[in-house]
Chains A and B, each alone.
Chain A
Amino acid sequence: MIHFVLLISRQGKVRLAKWYSTFSAKERSKVVRELSGTILSREPELCQFVHWRGFTVVYKKYAGLYVCMCVGQDDNELEIFDIIHRYVVLLDCYFGNVCELDLVFNFHKAYYILDELIVAGELQESSTRTVLQQIVAHDVMVAVAREEASTLNNIISQVTQY
C-alpha cells in the first residue's frame, strides 16, 4: 500500500501531503524534512528510489515539482511510476496545462482529485475518464448549491426590501 503521498517543490516547500498510514504531527514534519533533503539533492540520472526506514520512496520530477510516494518493500515500485504519472495527467486535464501555482491556489482541488484516485493507500480507479467525471460531478454539485444559495439570498433580500 501507499503510506503517503508528497508533492514537494524544488525549494522544498510542501504543496500536498496525504497520509494513509498513521504518523503523528511530529513524525510528519520529520518525514518531510528528511525526505525533501534526500530527494532534492539527488542527481537526475540516478534511480528514482530512496530507501527510507524500511520503506521505498518512489519519486518522479515534473518541472519544478517532485511527486513522491512511499510504499512498502512488497509493492511494485515500477507501477508507482505509472500511478504518479496518472495523477499528474489528471491534474493536467483538470487544470488544463497545470502549473505549480495552480496547486498553490487550488490545493484543495488537488486533494479532491487525489481522493478520487487513491483511497486507503490503494489505487481506486484505472480510468482517467471516470475520475474526471466524478470530479466534474462534484464541482457541478457545489456550483448548484451556490446558485441555490444566492437565489435564496436574492429572494430573502427582495422580501426584506419590500
Chain B
Amino acid sequence: MNPFSSGTRLRDMIRAIRACKTAAEERAVVRKECAAIRAAISENDQDYRHRNIAKLMFIHMLGYPTHFGQMECLKLIASPGFPEKRIGYLGLMLLLDERQEVLMLVTNSIKQDLNHTNQYIVGLALCALGNIGSAEMARDLAPEVERLLQFRDPNIRKKAALCSIRIIKKVPDLVENFMNPAASLLKEKHHGVLLTGVQLCTDLCKISSEALEYFRKKCTDSLVKVLKDLVNSPYAPEYDISGITDPFLHIRLLRFLRILGQGDADASDSMNDILAQVATKTESNKNAGNAILYECVATIMSIEDNGGLRVLAINILGRFLSNRDNNIRYVALNMLMRAITVDSQAVQRHRATILECVKDSDASIRKRALELVYLLVNESNAKPLTKELIEYLEVSDPEFKGDLTAKICSIIEKFSPEKIWYIDNMLKVLSEAGNYVKDEVWHALIVVITNASNLHGYSVRSLYRAVQTTGDQETLLRVAVWCIGEYGDMLINSAGMLNIEEPITVTESDAVDVIETTIKRHSSDLTTRAMCLVALLKLSSRFPSCSQRINDIIVHYKGSLVLELQQRAIEFSSIVDRHQNIRSALVERMPVLDEATYSGRRAGSVSAVASTSQAATLNLPNGVAKTAAAPLVDLLDLSSDDVPAPSSSGGDFLQDLLGVDLAPASSQSGINQTQKSGNDVLLDLLSIGTPPAQSSTAIPEILSSNQDNKSPINILEQLSSPSAPSGHVSSPANSPMVDLLDGFAPKPQKPEDNGTAYPSITAFESSSLRVTFNFSKQPGNPQITLIDALFENKTSNSCTNFIFQAAVPKFLQLHLDPASSTTLPASGNGSITQKLRITNSQHGKKSLVMRIRIAYKKDDKDALEEGQISNFPRGL
C-alpha cells in the first residue's frame, strides 16, 4: 500500500499550507492537520505513521510545536523496514535535540541498528548518533562505533569516524580507545575514509595531549607523504574542483599538520618542504585554491619558526589583500590579525593596504581592517596612522564613525608622544565626530589640558578656532566652553603664544559670543548648558567689561524649568550682581586636575574601550590620563579633590562654590535634621521666598551643609547674638553669605504686619530657663499660627547641646523650624530663637495646647525639662 496515496498526502498538505493567504489561515490548516495526526497517534495507526512524521517535520519547520510526535519517531525507528527507519531517524534528528529525555529511550534501538545486517540501516543509526548523540549515548554506544571503524564498507567506516568525533567530544575519557583505530584510518586510500580519518585524528589531538604525542611520532612523516602524493596526483575527475584534486582533503591534511607541527621543531621541520610546495604551486584564481592557500598560511604561521616560509605566507596574504574579491580580503585580514602575534614586523609591511581596507565599502571588511590597524599601531607609526584615520573620519559613513572614533581616541591616548600632539588630534576628532566621542574621552582631554600649563593659551585658542569652523559637535563645544571659562583671558591677550600659532585677535565679547551661542543652541543638553553658565560666571570676573552682558544672559535662565540651570542662574547672577568683592576669589582657576587619580579611577573603563589585551595596559607612556566615566558630576566636583568630598550629587557644586569663602564656617543647627545633600540646600534656598519668616534659618542650613568637611567653628554664636535676634539679619559683619541671600528674599515680615496681634506669653519658666512665645498669623489663613519661641538662660552657666521638642494633639499640626543655635549663653547674654508653625484643623472650636521638652547640657551634665503649655491666647 502506498502510504502517500490516501487521506491528505504530504504533498497536499504542503500545497494547502502554501495556498494560505494569511497567517491565520495557515494556522487553521496546521491546526487541522495536527489534530488529525494526534488522532492517528492515539489510534496507534501504523500505516500512516511515517507520513504523519513527514508532515510533522514540515510543520516543525514552519515553527509550530510538534513535541507530541516525538514518540512516534521512536516507534518508526523500532519498526523493521528501511523506509520507516529512514524517516524515523530523520524525524528524531529534526524534532528532538540533544537535551530531551526521549533521547535516552532511543539508545537501545540505535544499538540494535548499529549491529544490523543491512549496512544502510547501520549508516542511518551512525548518522543519527553523530548528529544528536548525547554524552550518555556516546558512553553506551562507543564500543559499537569503535568496531564499525573497521567495517568492510568504506561508507560505514567514514560515518563511524565522524561519529567517533562526536563521541570523544562528549566523553573525552574515551580518547584512548579510538587512538589505534583512528591511526589505521590514515592508511586508507578511499578519499572519504581518509578525509574523515584525518578529521578524527585532528580532533583527538585537540582533546588529548597524549594522542597528540602519539600521532606526532607515528604519523607525521606518512601524512606528509599523503599530502605530497595528493598535491602531485594526476587529474582525477571524481575529486576534482577547478583543477585541484580534492581540496577538502588538502585542507584537512594541512590542518592536521598544523596541530602536529605546533610546538615541535622536528615535526615542523619535516613538513617545511611540502608546505613550501603547496604555498608556491597552488593556483589562486579559484576559490578552492585560495582556500588551500589560506589553510597553508595558517599552518605556516602556527608551526615552529621558519623565516623563509613566513615570508612566503605573508606575501600570499598580501596578494589576498589586493584581491578584488571581498571574501578573500576578509579572510586575509582575519589571518593577518592572527599573524600579528607571531610576526608583527611582516604584517607592518602591508600597513598601507590594510589602511585602504579601512576605507572599503564593505562594512565587515572595514571593521576587521580597523581592528587590525589598531593592533598595528606602535610608537613609531602612531602619527601617520592617526593622521590617515582622522582624514578618513571626515568621509566615513555615519554608522562607522562610532567605532572609528573610539579606536582613534584610544590610539591617541595610548601613543601620543607629546601633549600638544594629543591636544591637536583630539581637537580634530572632536571637530569631526565630537558627537561620537565618549564622555571619558573629553574628560581626559580636559585633564590633559589643565596639566599642560604651557599649552593653556594654545588650547583655548585652538578650541576657539575649531568652534568657529564647526559649531555643531556637542563635546567640542563642551571642551571649548570649559576652556574659555577657565582660560578666557589667554584667548584675548594671546598669552603663551607658540611659534607655530597664527596670531588671532579675539575680543572679550567674541569669547562671550561663543558661550552665548552654545547656551542658546537648541540641541545643547543640560550638561552643556550648565557648563556654559559656569563659564559665564568665570568670564564675568575675567572680563569685567562684559559683566553686564553676561548677567543678562544668566538672568535669562533664572526662569529655566530645569532645576539645575535655575539654581545656577540664580546663584550666579547674585554673585555677579552684588558680590564683586568675592567673585574673583570664587571663580579662580581650577586647581590642576590630578592625572594619576584620573587614570586610576578610569582603570575599569579602559579595558572596555580597548579591545585587545595590548591596549589594556595602563602605563601610559606620555602620562595621558583618563577620566572616570561619570559625566558632569565628576567634572564639577574636581574642585573638591583636595578635600574629601563625601557627597556626589550635582548640587555639590554649590556647596563647594559657597564653601570657598566659608571654610571656617560650620555649625550645629539644633534639632534641625542635618542637611547632607546639596540639593536640600537648594530647596531651602528656593523656599526662602514663600514662608515669610524663614530667612534666618536658611543661613545656618547652608552653613551646616559644610560641616562634613570643614572644621567646626561655631559662627552662629555670633549670628544669634542679641543684636540679631530673629527674622531679618542685618549685621553686615556676619558673613558675606548673608548678603548673598538677601538678594532674593522678600523683606521679612514682622508680626505686627499681620493684622490681629496676640499678646506674648511666657510659655514655660523654670529655675534655669525661660521660654517666651510671640504669636502672629498670616492674613487669610486663620488656621495657621506662627510662633517665635525665645529661649533665655537664667543661670550663670551656658547651656550646650540645647534641644527643644514639642508635641501637640492630633487635631493640630506642628512644624518646627531649626533653632538659631544649640548653645544658650549664660545670664541672659543671648538667646536662642526657634520658629514653630501650628495648623489648627479645629480652628474656632478648640484652642491650642502643647507639651514641651527641653534637653541641654550644663556643667557637663545632661539636663531635661518638661512642661505643658495651656495658657495660649484664645482664638489661635
Contacts and interface: CB of A to CB of B under 8 A. Distances in A.
B57 A108 contact: yes
Contacts of A126: 191-192, 195, 239, 246, 248-249
Contact of B57 (A107, A130, A150): A107
Interface residues of B, number: 67
A111 B294 contact: no
Interface in B812-867: none
A74 B18 CA distance: 40
B758 interface: no
Interface string A18-40: 11101111000100000000000
A119 B127 contact: yes
A45 B326 contact: yes
A79 B361 CA distance: 24
A81 B292 CA distance: 12
A122 B238 CA distance: 20
B238 A129 contact: yes
Contacts of B290: 78
Contact of A105 (B11, B166, B249): B11
B163 interface: yes
Q: Which of A112, A125, A137, A153 has the most CB of B within 10 A?
A: A125
B802 to A, nearest CB: 68
Contacts of B239: 126-127
Contacts of A153: 1
B248 A17 contact: no
Contact of B81 (A51, A76, A145): A145
A120 interface: yes
Q: Which residue among A17, A47, A127, A153 has the maximum number of chain B CB atoms within 10 Å of its CB? A: A47
B291 A76 contact: yes
Contacts of A19: 97
Interface stretch (B154-162, B456-464, B479-487): B154-162
Interface in B160-201: 162-163, 165-166, 191-192, 195-196, 199
B120 A138 contact: yes
Contacts of A146: 2, 83
Contacts of B14: 104-105
Contact of B165 (A29, A46, A122): A122
A138 B251 CA distance: 30
B131 A20 contact: yes
B130 A120 contact: yes
Interface in A60-103: 76-79, 81-83
Interface in B44-68: 54, 57-58, 61, 63
Given A46-B363, A120-B162, A111 B90 contact: yes
Contact of B326 (A47, A51, A78, A138): A47
Interface in A125-150: 125-130, 134, 137-138, 141-142, 145-146, 149-150
Given A126-B239, A128-B238, A130-B155, A22 B97 contact: yes
Interface in B65-102: 81-83, 86-87, 90, 93-94, 97-99
B364 A119 contact: no
Contacts of B130: 119-120
A77 B93 CA distance: 26
Interface residues of A, number: 54
B82 A141 contact: yes
B511 interface: no
A16 to B, nearest CB: 8
A24 B96 CA distance: 9
Given A123-B195, A142-B86, A22 B98 contact: yes
Interface stretch (B327-335, B345-353, B707-715): B327-335
Q: In terms of DSSP, what is the predominant structure of the interface of chain B?
A: helix
Contacts of A22: 97-99
Nearest to A16: B61
A15 B288 CA distance: 27
B18 A104 contact: yes
Contacts of A50: 364
A70 B291 CA distance: 17
Contacts of B127: 115, 119
A82 B165 contact: no
Contacts of A123: 195, 199, 248
B362 A14 contact: no
Nearest to B291: A78
Contacts of A145: 81-83
Interface string B364-401: 11000000000000000000000000000000000000
Contacts of A17: 61
B258 to A, nearest CB: 10
A47 B362 contact: yes
B681 to A, nearest CB: 50
Given A77-B327, A78-B294, A124 B162 contact: yes
A151 to B, nearest CB: 11
Contact of B331 (A14, A24, A77, A124): A77
Contacts of B63: 14, 29
A86 to B, nearest CB: 8
Given A119-B162, A128-B238, A150-B1, A111 B94 contact: yes
Contacts of B158: 124-125
B712 to A, nearest CB: 59
A124 B83 CA distance: 22
Contacts of A142: 82-83, 86
Contacts of B248: 79, 82-83, 123, 126
B287 A81 contact: yes
Given A46-B363, A49-B364, A119-B130, A108 B87 contact: yes
Interface string B468-504: 0000000000000000000000000000000000000
B372 to A, nearest CB: 14
Given A107-B61, A112-B90, A130-B155, A49 B327 contact: yes
Nearest to B58: A107
A141 B116 CA distance: 15
B67 to A, nearest CB: 9
A142 B58 CA distance: 20
Contacts of B519: none
B317 to A, nearest CB: 13
A95 B191 CA distance: 25
A47 B192 contact: no
Contact of B192 (A46, A81, A127, A149): A127
Given A14-B61, A49-B327, A104-B18, A124 B291 contact: no
Contact of A76 (B83, B126, B246, B295): B295
Nearest to A25: B97
B434 interface: no
A82 B57 contact: no
B155 A134 contact: yes
B86 A138 contact: yes
B97 A47 contact: no
A79 B162 contact: no
B751 interface: no
B286 to A, nearest CB: 9
B241 interface: yes
Given A22-B98, A82-B241, A108 B54 contact: yes
Closest 3 CB pairs of A and B: A78-B291, A47-B326, A120-B130
Given A22-B97, A137-B120, 11 more contacts: A49-B327, A76-B251, A79-B251, A104-B18, A105-B14, A120-B165, A123-B248, A125-B158, A126-B248, A126-B249, A142-B86
27 contacts: A14-B61, A17-B61, A22-B97, A23-B97, A45-B326, A48-B326, A49-B327, A82-B247, A104-B14, A107-B58, A111-B90, A112-B86, A115-B127, A119-B130, A119-B162, A120-B130, A120-B165, A123-B195, A124-B158, A125-B192, A126-B192, A126-B239, A127-B239, A145-B81, A145-B82, A146-B2, A150-B2
